[in-house]
Amino acid sequence: MHYAIDKQNNVFITKGFVLSTELDAGFFNGKKNFARKDTSKSIENPEYVDESKEAMQEISIQNKLFEIGLKLNTIPKGNTNIAGYIRDAQTGEAISGAMIYVEKPHVQVISDQFGYYSIILSSGRHTLNIAAPGMFDTRRQVMLYSDGKFDIFMDEKVMKLKEVKVDLEKERNVRSTLMGTNKLDIASIKQMPTAFGEVDVLRAVLSLPGVKSVGEASTGLNVRGGSTDQNLILFNSANIFNPSHLFGFFSAFDADLIKNVTLYKSSIPANYGGRISSVLDITSLDGNDKKIAGSAGIGPLTGKVTLEGPLVKDKTTFVAGVRTTYSNWLFKILPQEYNKSRASFGDATIHINHKVDNKNNIYLNGYISSDKFNLNSDTTYQYQNKNANIKWKHNFNNQFYGVLTAGIDHYDYSVSGNDNPVNAYKLSYSINQSKLNADFSYFLNNKHKVSFGLSTLYYHINLGSFDPLGKVSLVKPDTVEAEQAVESALYISDQYEVTPKLTVELGIRYSLFNYLGPKHIFTYVPDLPRQESNILGTVYYPSGKIVKTYGGPEYRVSARYSISDNFSVKASFNNLRQYIHMLSNTTTISPTDIWKLSDPNIRPQEGSQVSFGLYKNFKSNTIETSVEVYYKWFRNYLDYKSSAVLIMNHHIETDVFTTKGKSYGVEFLVKKATGKLNGWFSYTFSRAFLRQNDPLAGELINEGKYYPSNFDQPHNGTLVGNYRITHRYSFSFNVTYSTGRPITIPVSVFDYGGSARLLYSNRNEYRIPDYFRTDFSLNIEGNFKVKQSTHNSWTIGVYNWTGRKNAYSVYYISQNTTIKGYKLSIFGTAIPFVTYNIRF
Partner 1 sequence: MIRKYFSWKIMICGVFSIFFVQCRIPYDPSLKSGQSNSLVAEGFIDGASISTIKLSRTRQLTVGDTAVKMNELNAVVSIEDDHQNKYSLTDAAGKGIYSSSNVLNLNPANQYHLHIITSNGKEYLSDFVPFKPSPPIDKVDWELKGDGLHIFLDTHDPNNATRYYRWEYNETWEFHSVYYSTAIYNIGSNSVTPRSEPVFICWQSDNSNNVLLGSSANLTSDVIDKALLTFIPFHDNKLSVLYSIWVKQYALDLKGYNYWQAMKNNSENVGSIFGPQPNQTVGNIHCISDPSETVVGYIGAGNSFATRIFISNVSMPTNWNIYPDCPLITVPNNKDSLLYYFNDGGYDPVAIFHLSSGDINYSASYGQCVDCTTRGSNIKPDFWP
Name the residue nearer to partner 1 (CB basis): 1 or 749: 749
Of 625, 687, 548, residue with least CA distance to 210: 687
Q: Do strands 65-68 and 138-144 pair parallel, antiparallel, or not at all (unpaired)?
A: parallel
Name the residue nearer to partner 1 (CB basis): 354 or 823: 823
Query: Which positions from 401 through 430 interact with partner 1, judged by CB under 8 A?
Result: none
Under the criterion CB under 8 A, does residue 352 sit at the interface with partner 1?
A: no
Under the criterion CB under 8 A, does residue 28 sit at the interface with partner 1?
A: no
Under the criterion CB under 8 A, does residue 340 sit at the interface with partner 1?
A: no
String marking each residue 660-699 x if it binds partner 1 according to CB under 8 A: --------------------------------------xx
Q: How far is the CB of 835 from partner 1 (least distance, A)?
A: 10
3-state secondary structure of 246: helix
- Residue 538 phi/psi, 5° resolution? -125, 155
Query: Which positions from 182 through 211 interact with partner 1, judged by CB under 8 A?
Result: 196
For residue 595, CA distances in Å to 54, 531, 580, 635 come to 52, 21, 7, 18
Which amino acid is residue 140, in one-letter code? R
Rounded Cα gap, residues 56 and 420, in angstroms: 73
Rounded Cα gap, residues 643 and 1, in angstroms: 60
Name the residue nearer to partner 1 (CB basis): 200 or 497: 200
Q: How far is the CB of 214 from partner 1 (least distance, A)?
A: 11
Q: Are 416 and 373 in contact (CB under 8 A)?
A: no
For residue 485, CA distances in Å to 242, 388, 432, 460, 598 come to 21, 20, 11, 7, 9
Burial class (CB in 10 A: 0-12, 13-18, 19+), 787: exposed
Among 45, 643, 783, 789, binds partner 1 (CB under 8 A): 643
Eight-class DSSP state of 173: H
Element (H, E) at 780: strand 771-781
3-state secondary structure of 228: helix
Under the criterion CB under 8 A, does residue 234 sit at the interface with partner 1?
A: no
Name the residue nearer to partner 1 (CB basis): 292 or 334: 334
Q: How far is the CB of 586 from partner 1 (least distance, A)?
A: 4
Name the residue nearer to partner 1 (CB basis): 292 or 700: 700
3-state secondary structure of 223: strand
Under the criterion CB under 8 A, does residue 525 sit at the interface with partner 1?
A: yes
Q: Are 200 and 251 in contact (CB under 8 A)?
A: yes
Q: Are 400 and 380 in contact (CB under 8 A)?
A: no
Q: Do strands 79-88 and 152-154 pair parallel, antiparallel, or not at all (unpaired)?
A: parallel
Name the residue nearer to partner 1 (CB basis): 260 or 374: 374
Q: Are 86 and 97 in contact (CB under 8 A)?
A: no
Q: How far is the CB of 706 from partner 1 (least distance, A)?
A: 14
Give the length of the chain: 840
Q: How far is the CB of 709 from partner 1 (least distance, A)?
A: 11
Name the residue nearer to partner 1 (CB basis): 303 or 828: 828
Among 423, 465, 793, 825, binds partner 1 (CB under 8 A): 825
Query: Which positions from 274 through 303 interact with partner 1, judged by CB under 8 A?
Result: 300
Name the residue nearer to partner 1 (CB basis): 572 or 795: 795
Among 603, 641, 672, 728, binds partner 1 (CB under 8 A): 641
Among 531, 558, 574, 730, binds partner 1 (CB under 8 A): 531
Rounded Cα gap, residues 42 and 36, in angstroms: 12
Rounded Cα gap, residues 684 and 634, in angstroms: 20
Rounded Cα gap, residues 165 and 151, in angstroms: 24
Rounded Cα gap, residues 268 and 178, in angstroms: 8
Q: How far is the CB of 454 from partner 1 (least distance, A)?
A: 39
Of 579, 551, 600, 465, residue with least CA distance to 229: 579
String marking each residue 781-800 x if it binds partner 1 according to CB under 8 A: ---------------x--x-
Under the criterion CB under 8 A, does residue 490 sit at the interface with partner 1?
A: no
Q: How far is the CB of 797 from partner 1 (least distance, A)?
A: 10
Under the criterion CB under 8 A, does residue 326 sit at the interface with partner 1?
A: no
Rounded Cα gap, residues 638 and 633, in angstroms: 14
Q: How far is the CB of 589 from partner 1 (least distance, A)?
A: 12
How many residues line the site for partner 1 (CB under 8 A)? 83
- Residue 702 phi/psi, 5° resolution? 45, 45
Name the residue nearer to partner 1 (CB basis): 552 or 704: 704
String marking each residue 805-824 x if it binds partner 1 according to CB under 8 A: x-x-xxxxxx--xxxxxxxx
Name the residue nearer to partner 1 (CB basis): 115 or 797: 797
Name the residue nearer to partner 1 (CB basis): 383 or 401: 383
Q: How far is the CB of 600 from partner 1 (least distance, A)?
A: 17
Q: How far is the CB of 491 from partner 1 (least distance, A)?
A: 37
Among 161, 498, 700, 725, binds partner 1 (CB under 8 A): 700
Question: In this chain, which stretch among 352-360, 390-398, 476-484, 579-587 interacts with partner 1, using CB under 8 A?
Answer: 579-587
Name the residue nearer to partner 1 (CB basis): 36 or 520: 520
Of 383, 347, 409, residue with least CA distance to 201: 347
Bridge partners, residue 389, by sequence = 365, 407
Query: Which positions from 746 through 785 interact with partner 1, judged by CB under 8 A?
Result: 746-763, 766
Rounded Cα gap, residues 301 and 326, in angstroms: 6
Q: Nearest 5 degrees, angle CA 78-CA 82-CA 85?
A: 170
Q: How far is the CB of 534 from partner 1 (least distance, A)?
A: 5
Under the criterion CB under 8 A, does residue 608 sit at the interface with partner 1?
A: no
